[in-house]
């Protein structure tokens, strides 16, 4: 394993921020993971695992060791009449895994198409889109603890999944590297096409049964039409979580804002569309220097070229302030600020 010093992370974070890591290493085996942990201990520096760099905002250079997860492999480990259990190594690209499953005709992850990042990062965030979250088909994962040098298997309950959250984003933040994730997939897919945009697109398909590939293609088209390509314009996708409010709060909001976009949850609470709230505060298309809000999707903050992490963070805080002042709703950031 090669340790590189003062390594540029510009191409390894989707905001395209010009930051460096004091130390950088790519790990492709458990042995190299162990070596990285020992190196960080020896140098007495902090250690951070970087997947696809699609959900992180660096405020400046990283003073410790950045580890890039490059563990590869996809394998079927169990199968029943109805399900197939697929183990995916943490360094695989998430959307490559989705493409693999769709190619096999297995259902469960097609709604999560084109979400950027690595498989190892997906449980941390409990990634989700269009009515599906990672936890829905999750079976178990393996994680290596840096401090104790031990591998542990986590069940779904042990991961403590929540809305864009997990135990790895809270109690165990920075303590592990997720080496593999096992997903349970349906051999007889039960498609989730209730979201309006998906339903409308699929209505054009007639004279044949709709399958997982159709759903994947529609979602790819929708995402590409709404979200900027990080290669062309630096961004991390959705910057804020959709806030959840009580039934009493939504009733009050609807009195003043009858057109507010909300979705009732199973527990009786309501999820609000953060992008709508931000748009109604007049932020869509606004910019402060090279930090800005996307012209088509107010939920996405962008780097027009020379913005720093602090520039983007300051803009985010201004947005949070204005949304709270107008609606009395707190917006929480989805990205990991480092």
pLDDT digits (tens, 9 = 90+) for 59-81: 999 999 999 999 999 999 999 99
Report the DSSP beta bridge partners of residue 245. Answer: 270
pLDDT digits (tens, 9 = 90+) for 125-166: 999 998 899 999 999 999 999 999 999 999 999 999 998 999
What pLDDT, on the 0 to 100 scale, is given for residue 243? 95
H-run or E-run covering 62: strand 62-69
- Mean pLDDT confidence for 285-299: 95
Contact yes or no for 1/40 (Cβ under 8 A): no
- Is pLDDT larger for residue 278 or for residue 264? 278
Domain boundaries, the chain: 4-69, 74-186, 234-337
Closest listed residue to residue 146, CA positions, set 51, 62, 70, 67: 67
Return all residues near 79 (Cβ < 8 A) that are at least 6 apart: 85
| Domain boundaries 234-337, corresponding CATH code | 3.90.78.10
Report the DSSP beta bridge partners of residue 133. Answer: 128
- Is pLDDT larger for residue 203 or for residue 62? 62
Q: How far apart are CA 85 and CA 76, in angstroms?
A: 6
Do the strands 20-27 and 62-69 form a parallel or antiparallel pair, or are they unpaired? parallel
Q: How far apart are CA 290 and CA 307, in angstroms?
A: 5
Closest listed residue to residue 163, CA positions, set 129, 117, 210, 204: 129
Instruction: Write down the residue that tokens 């989730």 correspond to.
Output: 192
| Domain boundaries 74-186, corresponding CATH code | 3.30.465.10
What pLDDT, on the 0 to 100 scale, is given for residue 121? 94
Burial 131-158 (b: 16+ CB within 10 A, else e): ebbbbbbbbbbbbbebeeeeeeebebee
What pLDDT, on the 0 to 100 scale, is given for residue 201? 79
User: pLDDT confidence of 207, banded at 50, 70, 90?
Assistant: low
pLDDT digits (tens, 9 = 90+) for 297-314: 999 999 999 999 999 999
| pLDDT for 318 beyond 90 | yes
What pLDDT, on the 0 to 100 scale, is given for residue 198? 87
Q: How far apart are CA 320 and CA 329, in angstroms?
A: 9
pTM: 0.89
Catalytic (active-site) positions: 164, 238, 334
Burial of 63 (0-12, 13-18, 19+ CB in 10 A): exposed
Share of the chain above pLDDT 90, in %: 86
Q: Which fold has domain 4-69?
A: 3.30.43
- Mean pLDDT confidence for 323-329: 97
Please, what is the end-to-end C-alpha distance for the chain in angstroms?
A: 25
Q: How far apart are CA 21 and CA 317, in angstroms?
A: 26
| pLDDT for 10 beyond 90 | yes
């Amino acid at each position: 394993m090669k340790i590189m010093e003062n390594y540029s992370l510009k191409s390894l974070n989707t905001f395209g921020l010009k930051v460096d890591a004091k130390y950088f290493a790519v790990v492709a085996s458990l042995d190299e993971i162990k070596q990285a942990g020992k190196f960080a201990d020896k140098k007495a520096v902090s250690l951070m695992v970087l997947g696809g760099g699609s959900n992180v905002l660096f405020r400046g250079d990283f003073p410790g060791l950045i580890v890039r997860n490059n563990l590869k492999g996809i394998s079927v480990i169990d199968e029943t009449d109805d399900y197939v259990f697929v183990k995916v190594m943490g360094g695989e690209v998430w959307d490559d895994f989705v493409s693999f499953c769709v190619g096999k005709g297995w259902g469960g992850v097609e709604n999560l198409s084109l979400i950027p990042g690595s498989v190892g990062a997906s449980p941390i965030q409990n990634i989700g889109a269009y009515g599906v979250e990672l936890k829905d088909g999750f079976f178990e994962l393996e994680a290596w603890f840096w401090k104790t040098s031990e591998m542990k298997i986590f069940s779904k309950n042990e991961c403590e999944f929540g809305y864009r959250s997990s135990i790895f984003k809270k109690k165990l933040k920075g303590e592990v590297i997720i080496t593999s994730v096992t997903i349970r997939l349906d051999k007889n897919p039960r498609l989730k096409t209730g979201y309006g945009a998906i339903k409308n697109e699929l209505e054009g398909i007639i004279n044949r049964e709709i399958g997982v590939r159709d759903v994947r293609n529609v979602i790819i088209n929708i995402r590409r039409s709404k979200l900027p390509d990080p290669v062309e314009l630096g961004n991390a996708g959705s910057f804020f979580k959709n806030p959840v409010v009580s039934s009493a709060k939504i009733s009050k909001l609807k009195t003043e804002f009858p057109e507010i976009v909300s979705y009732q949850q199973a527990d009786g609470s309501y999820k609000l569309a953060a992008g709508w709230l931000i748009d109604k505060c007049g932020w869509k298309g606004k910019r402060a220097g090279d930090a800005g809000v996307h012209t088509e999707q107010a939920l996405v903050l962008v780097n027009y070229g020379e913005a720093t992490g602090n520039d983007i963070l300051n803009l985010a805080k201004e947005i949070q302030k204005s949304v709270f002042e107008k609606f009395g709703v707190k917006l929480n950031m989805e990205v990991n600020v480092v």
